[in-house]
Chains A and B, each alone.
Chain A
Amino acid sequence: MNFSSFLLMRQEIILLTIILLLLVAEISISKSKKQSIVHLAIFLFGIHTIVGFLPIESGKLFGGMFHSNELVHFFKNVLNVGVFILLLQSADWLQEKVVDENKGTEFFILLFSSLLGMYFMISAGDFLMFYLGLELSTLPVAALAAFEVTKRISSEAGIKFILSAGLASGVSLFGISMLYATSGSIYFDDIITMISATNLTILGFVLFFAGLAFKISLVPFHFWTADVYEGAPISVASYLSVISKGAAVFILMILFFTVFKTLMHVWENIVYVIALATMFIGNLFAIRQQNMKRFLAFSSIAQAGFILLGLITGTQLGTATIIYFVMIYIFSNLAAFGVVQAISLKTGKENMNDYEGLYRTNPNLSLVMMLALFSLAGIPPVAGFFGKFFLFTAAASEGYYLLVFLAVVNVTISLYYYLLVVRAMFLRTSDQAIPYFKNKLYMRLGLLITVIGILVIGLYSPLYDYIFELSKNLN
């Protein structure tokens, strides 16, 4: 192993450097100029995102604990873009509310640490690295959820999150130890060859899966979701629903398609049932929500159920469609959260009936929201349609027609509640409509990127072809 092989960890190293730089900046910048920390962080992360697109070699480090290939690298870039958009959308909130309390740098450091954890998690080559990454990605988020310490609901969210996350990772660890007991190794490569469907292995697998299912908020591990989303600052809720979920789906897919491939006959059935439960419960609960954050929480639970339709296939097609869908989901959900963020910041309003008449006062925001919701609902020509169609195609390719049928029933249910928001914004008029306001540059940029993503990703087919090519790395 020589020094240049460390370049495999380029993404991690750069992100760590940014974290350290921000620490130094926090100490050296005087209190009156703390606002510039936000600009600095966004600038540095922007550079990091762009540099990330430079190609990286495939390979392994530390005796197989850390590995990287084109697919993993691509996915880190997707996460980077998501976080970058998130930063743009949070900039106003940070500048107006957080920096004054002298917590600006903390926000970035916690957020980036969590992202670093996700890098390690998806690059993991053994269960130890995986578990460390999982913890590193989870713990800072608990602090972030409780970021608005003066609000009781925010602290409550933090406590709820850390308790359920702690339980989940404990269960997961228990499962990992059983897998170690049966296979005698924690390295993925070894386990692939040694795993067999004994009862203890299956028990270990199920416990392990339960821990990850918590992060993706699959039913029945979804109970924390709505409360935490509602209590946490919107940026954090957005991060949880988009970046955190995306990374967890990705690692789940890697493990299912490689390590647990021999257990496919077991997890097929589990995934089938959980997919149905997640879609139905997420969708049916979303119908009744008034608070936009809770609304999006249940919507994102339901979306996770759709993702499982790709997971159940275990094929290259499944891999490609999952990554494609997660990418689209990141853009769509960030757009929706961005609008909620913008409105909440300016007016403090977060309920659906506050949005009545929004189109007549703020047409652009309403249009962004409508595009985002249409994309989540899967209406052409926006990207979400293509994502869903391909997921269904993947599931149908393995003959799961009944599952696809029940999924399209769910698409129709979800369309109902997405249209409720459209109804409030477009169909209704209100005397107390949110008055016109202009967003700052960062927010506008953040929303613009998501809109471009929503409009382009679906129609631009070479992107899908590229992802499909990359997916060969896994299968």
Chain B
Amino acid sequence: MDILTLFIIVPIITVIALVFSKGLERARVVSMIGSFIQLGMAINLLFAYLREIKVNSDIMVFTKDVVWFKNFNIHYNIGVDGISVALILLTAIVVLAGVFISWKMKELPKEFFISLIVLSLGVYGVFISIDLFTLFVFFEIAVIPMYLLIGIWGSGPREYSAMKLTLMLMGASAILLVGILGIYFNSNADGGALTFNILEIAKVNIPIEAQKLFFPFVFIGFAVISALFPFHTWSPDGHASAPTAVSMLHAGVLMKLGGYGVFRIAMFLLPEGALHWSWFFIILAAIGVVYGAFSAIRQTDLKFINAYASVSHLGLVLFALLTLNKIAWNGAIIQSLSHGLLTALFFALIGMIYGRTHTRDIRKLGGMMKILPFIGAIYVITGLAYLGLPGFSGFVAEMNIFVGAFQENSDTFNRILTILVVSSIVVTSVYILRLVGKIMMGPLETNDVNDLPKATWFEKTGILLLMIPVIGIGVAPFWLSEMIMKSLEPFIQGVL
């Protein structure tokens, strides 16, 4: 079994084991073991990849190619580059942390963990696919469990949120399907056979008219899941209703599929389309960044604040990708990783606070630092990392993005937008610091606070799991930058 297919096999085995496990105790242990193995495999993959690229100069390594539907030239074709390796590692970390955070899932635990693992399977599948069809299959597999996860285990208007989220994301993937078919039927433009293989299509000169026509389909199809303005409306509702681990996975991992897809499919395969349309979508992305940040200021529900902050930060990823600049691209990938970890941390902490105080309303919270010192301290650290304090991953990412976006080869239009987008940093500081000041440092708001339970071991494990890489990337970003930069080469050649 090759090193990548295991990322499909292990979740499947975990799911099968979960089907036969009864009760919460078994289910959580099984899923913990399963996601531990995944994390082990992801770390192993990282080192194997670092070894491999020293001897192998292919774009994708660890490739495997099995014919699936031969009439359509559909292959089960997998492989990874530095970007996908980093994102796979992120996924493994967030999934394991998510399992720890859901340690006390009482209602239908087995089904909960099955949905969670299926979701992670879909995400791994997207990150390892080289074949458009396989990628699309995994993309949809990743989205659909969200309906059950939010609908069954959610809170508030869960049915509404789950339906809205599912319809918007599946609607987007339906649009994506048209784009994929458009790419497929133009993949023989140079006289070869029709193919779904990303690497082969990248070599083909797809007619410019077709690129211009299909770029918006592919772009929007992927960008909706990254909460591109004005298609972001599913995100606040979805996040607010979802249970903690699902918010973590969703904001931390699932939304990253959007940026990944935009980069790897839309921009890599349709570079002319990207050039043609970037001015339009970059405006949308910039609006998203600023709009998300300002909306976050106005919210009083902790989860809504974080959801709008995600709209803002992922808008930044799309913005950076569309600036068509390699340093900004590097920043976009690091931002994806950084935001994935930080937002998962935030949601985990919010879940813990909510589990203890039964409210997410910041007007009713205060002085948590005194009552819950561990959670409070981590919350402050996460907040600081989120607003881009040096020493944490957020700084590295945003620095790269803004430096790249403002470089000499960028035109006035891009520069004006960059200035606009940079201003969101200030707004981010406003809402994060206000939040920290009010609920952590502010006066106590509740009286029955002495019996709030301290953070348990599984909560701490989950938190630390996410915290370590945040600091790791912040302190020593170079090895990561280097790995990503190397993988950006084909994109730089193809698109710029």
Contacts and interface: CB of A to CB of B under 8 A. Distances in A.
A393 interface: yes
B178 A408 contact: yes
A427 B151 contact: yes
Contacts of B374: none
Interface in A392-438: 392-393, 396-397, 401, 404-405, 408-409, 411-412, 415-416, 419, 422-423, 426-427
B182 A396 contact: yes
Interface in A18-74: none
B30 interface: no
B221 to A, nearest CB: 10
Contacts of B138: 380
A409 B159 CA distance: 22
Contacts of A393: 72, 181, 184
Interface string A449-469: 000000000000100110010
A393 B71 CA distance: 12
Given A393-B72, A396-B181, A404-B181, A419 B174 contact: no
A430 to B, nearest CB: 14
Contact of A422 (B137, B147, B158): B147
Which of B68, B137, B141 has the most chain A CB within a 10 Å cutoff?
B137
B178 A423 contact: no
A329 interface: no
Given A416-B163, A427-B151, A381 B141 contact: yes
B181 A416 contact: no
Given A415-B170, A416-B167, A468-B71, A380 B140 contact: yes
A427 B69 CA distance: 36
Given A389-B177, A396-B185, A465 B141 contact: no
A412 B182 contact: no
Contacts of B69: 461, 464-465
A390 interface: yes
A311 to B, nearest CB: 18
Given A380-B140, A412-B170, A390 B72 contact: yes
B152 interface: yes
Contacts of B323: none
Interface residues of A, number: 31
B407 to A, nearest CB: 38
Given A419-B163, A419-B166, A464 B71 contact: yes
A379 interface: yes
A323 to B, nearest CB: 13
Contacts of B175: 405, 408
A325 interface: no
A424 B74 CA distance: 36
Nearest to A399: B185
Given A385-B137, A390-B72, A411 B148 contact: no
B245 interface: no
Contact of A423 (B70, B74, B159, B177): B159
Given A380-B141, A381-B137, A464-B69, A408 B152 contact: no
Given A381-B137, A385-B140, A423 B151 contact: yes
Nearest to B118: A381
Interface in B158-178: 158-159, 162-163, 166-167, 170-171, 174-175, 177-178
18 contacts: A379-B144, A380-B140, A381-B141, A389-B133, A392-B177, A392-B181, A401-B182, A408-B178, A409-B171, A411-B170, A411-B174, A412-B170, A415-B167, A419-B147, A419-B163, A427-B159, A461-B70, A465-B70
Closest 8 CB pairs of A and B: A408-B174, A412-B171, A427-B151, A396-B181, A380-B137, A461-B69, A380-B140, A468-B71
